[in-house]
Structure formats: structure tokens, C-alpha cells
Amino acid sequence: MNRRVVITGLGVCAPNGVGLSDFTNALLEGKSGLRYQPNLGKLGFGCQVAGEPLVKDQLIANYFTPLERRGLNATGIVYGVIAGVDAWKDAGLEKNITNEPSWDRGIIFGTGILGVDKFREAIHLIDEGKVRRLGSTSVIQTMASGISAYLGGLLGCGNQVTTNSAACTTGTEGILMAYDRISQGKAEIMLTGSCSDSGPYVWGGFDAMRILPRGYNDNPTKASRPMSATAGGFIPGSGAGALMLESLESAQKRGAHIYAEVLGGEVNSGGQLGEGSMTAPNSMAVQRCIQNAIRNSGITASDIDVINGHLTATSKDSLEIENWRTALNRDKGDFPYINSFKGSVGHCLAAAGSIESVATVLQFKEQVVFKNVNCEDIHPDILSVIPASSIPRDTKNHSPKVIAKASFGFGDVNACVIFRAFSKEQ
């Protein structure tokens, strides 16, 4: 069984926009979601810039009951629920209000670490000998699968409800897990996405590794510079993205709006061998991941006209471009458009793959390639591999046909998914 799978809903809670319309406008204009974070300054972080979605209490009240809001101290759950419920509604679906679980609907919603602030609260109480004061929500807000559990209960899903975790590939991997489940006929509708908490306890470890830029604390919107000669490291972000994947049959039966088709993809690992390590990718595996994604999707490399890279704004950007070129085996002048949204949203870690995939898919709807920001000065090593015209610095009118989106993560793990503009004919 190998059924066609389409995207029928999107939801997003990102540093540069909460909700699809704000997010789309921000991407069209290249508006930054990166800001100076006073709490990071107070704590003496080297990098005091980060991306955090601006979520008002009033908005939270639309998604959580007063009871759920009491003691709610897990930003990842807030972002994930907003994005997940929005995607569900965007697909034209209702909450399940019957007494029977929706057996053919499931959730794969990933995260890296969840409820860090809640966990800190618990640690303090426990160390003071007050374990009895934790209350009933400490576990559900700090278990990794808390996000899929919250969404599963809100939506009444009866198919697989789980949380995947693969560092910065989490969101992209989740799309492929959901795709597999539907394409194999095990589910009709899967909500997939990922979320990442905000705050010093998530971002501190990266600051300690000295991989974040320290020279932009008074110029935050310029701090994240993918593909730029002056790129100095990634800016950490947070938030959530969500996509509704659905069998074509189910979508057509419901008369749902179809954003794009998921053709398939690939996940793999470089085994931390060769040039690969815990924190660096093995190029052999990256290239193989892209090539297998193309093969698994039944297309050829020349069909791809747009790429959304991982491109975090570190010295590895040039290597990633080289890997794309080698994997696609396209001439320099024939290289697809390529963009990175990390210039305006930062690197949203476990949420990166899903937020960026939502943005990637929005390009089909808007018939554009969203601009790259902060790379007026493209790195010379990149320009020796692909032309400047492949890297739009202004949002470009272009109806994408096939977009490849990849994410790479700590642990030397890779994921590449192939999206195609939807047409009824295969």
C-alpha cells in the first residue's frame, strides 16, 4: 500500500509571527523575530539575543481552560497547543465531542526537552523537602510526550499519539513519520509538528559551547546571518509549527483545501564517523539523505526548483551548500533557489524543522520564494559553488513546483522531505 499524502492544514507559533497570517507577512517582508532578551543579559550570557514568540495571556485563554492555565509553566506546551489546534482548525476539522476516539486520526508531535521552567520549579520544591507541594501537573508538563498528550486530549485522537525527538531534525523527521503512517494505510489524518521551550535553561548550554554570536546584543535583528561572509553562529529560538497530513482520499472526500503534496523523503545518520561527530554532520550521510529522499519520492534531482536548507549561520553553511550541489549534481548555473528562514526566526532547535516546513509550504500558496535576510554579503565559498541569483535577497515571485526541505541535528542525524505543488494527476 502506498497512498498519496497531502497537507490540508498549517499552524504556527513563531518568534516573527503567531498565527498563519502574521507569520506569512513577516516572511514576505523578512521581518525579524529576534530580540534582545533582558533576562539573558541579567544572567551574564555571552549571546543575549534570542527568538521567542510573543504570546499574550488573552490568546492563551482561547486554547486552555482556566484550570489548565493554573500552574502552566511549560512554554513548549503553550506554543505546541496553539500551533497544533490552529492546524487542526485550518484543515476544517472539529474537536471530537463524541464518546468514541477518532481511530483514524493521530498525532506525532516532537520536542527536544519540555517544560524546563516547570521542572526547575519542581527541583526547587523537592530540594526544600516539599515534594508534596508539586501538585498534579508536574509530570504532564515535563514529560517529553506532554505535548502530544495535551493535543491528543484536546482533539480526541484514537490513532498513534506520540512524541519524537531527534535534536534539530525533530520537526522534519515527524513529517516523514506521519507520512509513512498515512501512506501505509495505518491512519487517515495525522497532526505532526514540533515545539521547543523558551528561556535561559534551554539556550544556556549552547551559549556555554560558544557557538552563539556575541557581537550583536545591541543589534539583534542583524545577529542571525545564514550564508553570510559575516555569519558568526546561530541565534537560538523557540516556538512550534504544525502540519495536518492527510490521505488524498480523505482530503478529497472532505473537500479540504490542499496546500501541497508530501512525496516522501529520507532520514538517516552519519554514525558520527569520518568528519561526522556529535555536533558536526558527516557529508557522506547528508548527501545520501538528500539523494535517497529524491529517489523515494519518485522524482529526479532536476525536478527540484526550490530548497529550504538547514543553514544555521555557522561556518558549516558553505559545507551544506556544497553537499546540496553534490547531491543534486546540478551545474552551477542551474542550481535551484535556496533559502533559510533562520535569519529572521533564529534556530528554533527542536521546533526548527516544523516552523520552517510550515514556511516552506506557504511558498506554494503565496507563489513566492521567501527572501533571505542578513546575507547581503554572501560568503565567497558559497559563491564559488552556486550563483548569487540562487539566493534571493528579496521575496521572489515564483510558483514552486518541487521543494526539498532538510534539517540536520546533533547526534549526526539528517532528515529531508520533498513537497510538491498539488495536482490531481500523479
Partner 1 sequence: MLKEEKYQKLKDIIKIYLPEDVSVTDIAQDSHFMNDLNINSANLVDIVLDVEDAFDIRLENEDIEKMQTVNDAMAIIDAKLAEN
Over the range 31-65, which residues count as b (16 or more CB within 10 Å of their CB) and which as e? ebbbbbbeebeeeebebbbbbbbebeeebeeebbe
Show contacts with partner 1 in window 282-321 (CB under 8 A): none
- Shortest distance, CB of residue 71 to partner 1, whole angstroms? 8
- Shortest distance, CB of residue 72 to partner 1, whole angstroms? 13
Taking CB under 8 A as the rule, does residue 136 contact partner 1? yes
| Interface mask toward partner 1 for 185-224; x: CB under 8 A | ----------------------------------------
Taking CB under 8 A as the rule, does residue 153 contact partner 1? no
Would you say 305 and 401 are in contact if contact means Cβ atoms under 8 Å apart? yes
| Interface mask toward partner 1 for 54-83; x: CB under 8 A | ------------xx--xx------------
Indicate the residue among 138 and 165 with the shorter CB distance to partner 1. 138
Indicate the residue among 67 and 278 with the shorter CB distance to partner 1. 67
Indicate the residue among 1 and 97 with the shorter CB distance to partner 1. 97
How far apart CA 398 and CA 130 sit, in angstroms, is 59
SS3 readout for 310-347: CCCCCCCHHHHHHHHHHHHCCCHHHCCEEECCHHHHCE
Indicate the residue among 135 and 387 with the shorter CB distance to partner 1. 135
Q: Which stretch binds partner 1 (CB under 8 A): 8-16, 52-60, 133-141, 269-277?
A: 133-141
- Shortest distance, CB of residue 145 to partner 1, whole angstroms? 17
Read out DSSP for 112-176? Answer: SS--HHHHHHHHHHHHTT-GGGS-SSHHHHHSTTHHHHHHHHHHTB-S-EE---BTBTHHHHHHH
DSSP class of residue 411 equals T
Q: Which stretch binds partner 1 (CB under 8 A): 107-115, 130-138, 147-155, 385-393?
A: 130-138
Q: Which stretch binds partner 1 (CB under 8 A): 100-108, 135-143, 185-193, 285-293?
A: 135-143
Indicate the residue among 71 and 101 with the shorter CB distance to partner 1. 71
- Shortest distance, CB of residue 102 to partner 1, whole angstroms? 19
- Shortest distance, CB of residue 130 to partner 1, whole angstroms? 10
How far apart CA 40 and CA 200 sit, in angstroms, is 6
Would you say 15 and 195 are in contact if contact means Cβ atoms under 8 Å apart? no
Q: Centre a 10 Å sphere on the Cβ of residue 130 and count the other Cβ atoms it contains.
A: 11
Taking CB under 8 A as the rule, does residue 380 contact partner 1? no
Count of residues engaged in binding partner 1, rule: CB under 8 A: 8
- Shortest distance, CB of residue 67 to partner 1, whole angstroms? 6
3-state percent helix, strand, coil for the chain, nearest multiple of 5: 40, 20, 40
- Shortest distance, CB of residue 276 to partner 1, whole angstroms? 44
How far apart CA 166 and CA 269 sit, in angstroms, is 11
Provide the sign of the torsion angle of the four alpha carbons 299, 305, 310, 316, taken in this order. Answer: positive
- Shortest distance, CB of residue 57 to partner 1, whole angstroms? 17
Which of 418, 175, 176 is CA-nearest to residue 306? Answer: 418
Phi/psi region, residue 401 (left: phi>0; alpha: psi -120 to 50; beta: rest), is alpha
Amino acid at 249: E
- Shortest distance, CB of residue 105 to partner 1, whole angstroms? 22
DSSP class of residue 419 equals E
How far apart CA 233 and CA 230 sit, in angstroms, is 9
Tracing cell 526566526 back to the chain, one arrives at: 345
Selected binder of partner 1 within 3, 42, 124, 133 (CB under 8 A): 133
Taking CB under 8 A as the rule, does residue 135 contact partner 1? yes
Indicate the residue among 21 and 136 with the shorter CB distance to partner 1. 136
- Shortest distance, CB of residue 135 to partner 1, whole angstroms? 5
Indicate the residue among 135 and 185 with the shorter CB distance to partner 1. 135
Q: Which residues bind partner 1 (CB under 8 A)?
A: 66-67, 70-71, 133, 135-137
